[in-house]
Structure 1
Amino acid sequence: MMVDGVVARLRELDGELAPGDGVAVFNGMYLAVTEEVRDRLAGGRFDDPAAVAELDVLFAGRYLAAVAADQAGRRPAACWRPLFTARRQPGVHPVQFALAGISAHVEHDLPLAVVDTCRSRRCPPQQLSADYHRINDVLADLEARVREQLMPGPDPLEAADPLTHLVGCWSLDRARDAAWASAQALWALHRLPPAYAALATALDESVGAVCRRLLTPLVRRRSGGGQDQGGQDQLECSGLPSA
Structure 2
Amino acid sequence: MALLEHFTHPVYTVDTVVSRMRTLDAALPERDGIAVFNRVYLAVTEEVGRRLDTGEFADPAAAITLDVRFAERYLRVAEEGDPPACWRPLLQFRRHPGVRPLQFALAGINAHIGHDLALAVVDACRTLGCEPAELEDEFDRVGDLLVALEERIREELMPGPDLLQIADPLTHLLGAWSLDRAREATWSAARALWALRGLPDLAEELADRLDTAVGFAGRMLLTPLPD
Give the TM-score normalised by the residue count of structure 1: 0.86
Which whole-Å CA distance do the structure 1 matches of 2:157 and 2:33 have between them?
12
The answer to whether the aligner puts 1:50 opposite 2:61 as a matched pair is yes
Structure 1 vs Structure 2 CA RMSD:
1.4
- 2:95 partner letter: R
The answer to whether the aligner puts 1:10 opposite 2:17 as a matched pair is no
The answer to whether the aligner puts 1:128 opposite 2:135 as a matched pair is yes
Give the TM-score normalised by the residue count of structure 2: 0.92
Q: CA deviation at 1:155?
A: 3.5
Which whole-Å CA distance do the structure 2 matches of 1:68 and 1:156 have between them?
34
Q: Is the 8 A contact 2:119 2:190 kept in 1?
A: yes
Which whole-Å CA distance do the structure 2 matches of 1:79 and 1:64 have between them?
14
2:211 corresponds in structure 1 to: 204
Which whole-Å CA distance do the structure 2 matches of 1:198 and 1:115 have between them?
15
Which whole-Å CA distance do the structure 2 matches of 1:176 and 1:156 have between them?
25
- 1:31 partner letter: L
List alignment gaps of at least 5 residues for structure 1: 221-243
List alignment gaps of at least 5 residues for structure 2: 1-11
Aligned residues: 216
- 2:184 partner letter: D
Residues 8-33 of structure 1: CA deviation (Å, up to 9, x unaligned): 00011111110110111000000000
1:235 corresponds in structure 2 to: none
- Give the match's secondary structure for 2:29: coil
The answer to whether the aligner puts 1:62 opposite 2:97 as a matched pair is no
Residues 95-118 of structure 1: CA deviation (Å, up to 9, x unaligned): 000000000000100010001111
- 1:174 partner letter: R
The partner residue of 1:182 within 183, 189, 193 is 189
Q: Is the 8 A contact 1:11 1:31 kept in 2?
A: yes
2:37 corresponds in structure 1 to: 26
- Classify 1:96/1:160 alpha carbon distance in 2 versus 1 (closer, same or farther; 3 Å): farther
- 1:142 partner letter: L
- Classify 1:195/1:102 alpha carbon distance in 2 versus 1 (closer, same or farther; 3 Å): same
- 2:45 partner letter: T
Which 4+ residue blocks in structure 1 deviate beyond 2 angstroms? 154-160
Which whole-Å CA distance do the structure 2 matches of 1:94 and 1:117 have between them?
31
Which whole-Å CA distance do the structure 1 matches of 2:44 and 2:108 have between them?
13
Q: CA deviation at 1:69?
A: 2.8
Q: Which has the higher contact order (CA 8 A, sep 6+)?
A: 2
Correspondence list, 1:202-241, <5 A: 202-220=209-227
Which whole-Å CA distance do the structure 2 matches of 1:45 and 1:13 have between them?
28
- Classify 1:204/1:156 alpha carbon distance in 2 versus 1 (closer, same or farther; 3 Å): closer
Q: Percent identity?
A: 58
- 2:195 partner letter: A
- Classify 1:178/1:154 alpha carbon distance in 2 versus 1 (closer, same or farther; 3 Å): same
